Amino acid sequence: MPYDKKGVGYQHTKSGTSQAAGNSVNRVPMRMQVLKAFRDNPAGLNAQEVAEAVGRSHYYGLQPRITELVNAGLVFDTGKTSPLPTGNGGTIWAIVLNSNRMFI
């Protein structure tokens, strides 16, 4: 996949090129929006609650961002679950409050 000068990936299609061009430095990356949702809710959130906090209707596209934050040591599995719209128990994730890391 090619990348533009800002490191945004896109396909060589009309919609892919136009979408990449629409991304700007002023937009907050989804990973940062997810991290802010955890900062605003230190007791923790499941993936659907994260989606609602960032204005999305469903969590499917956000789960990779949560995984990135876990892998970066900024978010952890609390060991608790709460129901997702699917009826399954969703992991409650929470921010690491004593982390010195400011950026990912």
What is the CATH classification number for the domain harbouring 84? Answer: 1.10.10.10
Q: Residue 60: inside a domain, yes or no?
A: yes
94: DSSP letter: E
Predicted local confidence at residue 13, as pLDDT:
62
Predicted local confidence at residue 98, as pLDDT:
77
Q: Residue 84: inside a domain, yes or no?
A: yes
Q: Across the chain, which distance is largest between two alpha carbons, in Å?
A: 45
Backbone angles phi, psi at 64, to 5 degrees: -60, -35
pTM of model > 0.75:
no
Q: Residue 66: inside a domain, yes or no?
A: yes
DSSP run (H or E) holding 47: helix 47-53
Q: Residue 4: inside a domain, yes or no?
A: no
Distance CA 25, CA 12 (A): 21
Q: Residue 3: inside a domain, yes or no?
A: no
Domain of residue 53: give its range.
28-95
Q: Please state the domain count of the chain.
A: 1
Give the mean pLDDT per block of 10 residues along the chain (104 residues): 53 56 63 94 95 91 92 95 89 86 50
